[in-house]
Structure formats: C-alpha cells, structure tokens
Amino acid sequence: MNPAPSTLLAPTEVRQVLPAMRVLLGAFAVLTALATGSLFVLAETTEETFAWTIQPPLTAAFLGAGYAAGFVLVVLSMRVRRWADVRVPVLTIFGFVVLTLVATLAHIEKLHFDDDFSALGSLSKGAAWFWLAVYVVLPLAMLVLLVLQERAPGGDPPARHPVPRVLRVALGVESAVLLAGGAALYAVPTTATTLWPWALTPFTARVTAAWLLAFGLATALAAFAGDLHRLRTATIAYTLFGVLVLAAVLRFLGTVDWGRPVAWLFLGMTVAVVLTGAAGWRAAPAGPDRD
C-alpha cells in the first residue's frame, strides 16, 4: 500500500530552521555565556572586565540575568527543527539586539575605548570594541536571516496545544507592564528615578529597558501565539530570568530602596514572572516535534 499523500508531503510542508540560523544561534550562545560571566558572576568588576562601567553592581547582575536567560533560550532553540517553534525566541533576541545597538550608539562615549578611560587595562578596552562590533554585526545578520527564514519553503504546522485562558490573561498583563515600563525607560531614561527601585544611569536605563521590551514582546507573542509546545523554550528562559533577578536582588539587597512602593511592585512583578513562566513550562508538552 502506498503512503498517504499527507505523509509524503509533511517533511516539505513544515518550514525547517535554516542551517545559517543555527550557526547564528550558536554564535549568540557563546556571546551570552561571556556576558553572563562578566555581568552576573563578576558584577562588582565591570570597570576592569566589561565594555563599560556599570554601577551599582545590582544593575550589572540584572543585565547578566537577562543574558543568562538568553543563553538558555538559544541553546534550547538550537535543538529544535521547526521554525515555528523557534520564531518567538529569535524575535525576542532580535528585538533586544536592535534596541541595545541604538542605546550603545546614543551613549558610545561611555564605552571604555573613549579617551577618558585611557588608564584602564587592555581587557576592558578590548571588551568595549568587541561589544560595539557584535552589536553592529548581529542585528544586520539577524535581519537578513529572518527574511530568508520566513521565505524558506514550507509553512507552520497547525496549533495543537492552546494556551489556557488564565495563563493567557496573566501573560498579557505582564506583557503590558513590561512594554509600558520598558518604553518609558528607553525613551526617557530619567524616568528611572520614579519607575525603578535603584539608581540607573541613562545608558544602563536604556539597556535595562531593552531587556524589558524584549521579554515584553516575548510574553505578548506567548499570550497570542496559541500553541504551548512552541512556547516551551521561551517559558523556561522566562522562568530562569525571574529566578536570577530574585537572586541578584538578594545578593545586593541593600541597593534596593525598600522604602519606596516601586520596590515592592518590582518584587511582585518578578515573582509573577517566575510563577507564570513556571506554569507555562509545566503546561507545555515536552518531547520533540513530530512534524
């Protein structure tokens, strides 16, 4: 008996992740691992080991939590064959790198290769040039590959695992908070004095906002994507981000101005990120795709 026509067509009907996209994800995995070490682990030494000096160290640790989540996001994405299951993570990364490039160019005098930092060592100067090169090349490469990926043969498989209504609503609310707060910080960094529970410089406010906007985009896509299987990778990274932010706050507990209501709103939002991420992770079916 001949196989059914749908069986013969299935491998070509479902759009697969291009090899070039896998290479790019691998490169991003290396870069995010390096940033995690420099920012989350070595939060107190950014003057010597990172592209620009970040004070207070809690800010560096917060940014490092974002990079650690990004590392998990891309490593898990590299194991997936179907583009539909990788689209949300890649769009999240793309949004972050574009916003970070714009912030870097707006505050380029803060990077350690400026003449004002002539007394610093070669490691910090090299990190500054490396940062600039990465954030110029990476957005362009991602844009080209996103266009090629969307034009690749095939399409998305049908959604089989709808997001539960309660989780969809929770993600939608979190997305609104992240996008609104991130947009305000990015557009007017001085709003950090009102919106953020510890001091941020204009540069760190914008890079912090880039992570908020990236995760806000991811949660918005999660709330409306309609398939838990495709969101499993994103929910794992989202959960890790919240857990590591809580760990960073505990590590630098005295930096947070706990006398302000925004500090408790920040804490509540972070706990909500952990809970909704974990709920999505648990509800999402595990195992390889079958298309």
pLDDT digits 0-9 by tens, 139-170 = 999 999 999 999 999 888 877 777 888 888 88
Residue 290 lies in a domain: no
Domain range for 175 is: 5-283
Residue 289 lies in a domain: no
CB 128 within 8 A of CB 116: no
Of 62-66, 74-78, 98-102, 242-246, which range is least confident?
A: 74-78
Q: What is the pLDDT at residue 52?
A: 93
Contacts 24+ apart (CB under 8 A), 125-134: 127/38, 127/49, 127/50, 127/51, 128/51, 128/52, 130/51, 131/51, 131/52, 131/104, 132/51, 132/104, 132/108, 134/31
Give the mean pLDDT of the chain: 88
Q: What is the pLDDT at residue 281?
A: 84
Give 214-224 pLDDT, tens digit per residue. Answer: 999 888 887 77
Q: What is the pLDDT at residue 224?
A: 76
pLDDT at 7 over 50: no
- Rg from Cα positions in the chain: 20
Residue 70 lies in a domain: yes
Cα(48)–Cα(121) distance, rounded to whole angstroms?
7
pTM, two decimals, is 0.90
Residue 291 lies in a domain: no
Give 37-57 pLDDT, tens digit per residue. Answer: 999 999 999 998 899 999 999
Give 90-125 pLDDT, tens digit per residue. Answer: 988 999 999 999 999 999 999 988 666 666 778 888
Residue 182 lies in a domain: yes
Residue 130 lies in a domain: yes
Give 164-187 pLDDT, tens digit per residue. Answer: 888 888 889 999 999 999 999 999
Report the domain count for the chain: 1
Residue 201 lies in a domain: yes
Residue 231 lies in a domain: yes
Q: What is the pLDDT at residue 226?
A: 65
Residue 230 pLDDT level (bands cut at 50, 70, 90): confident
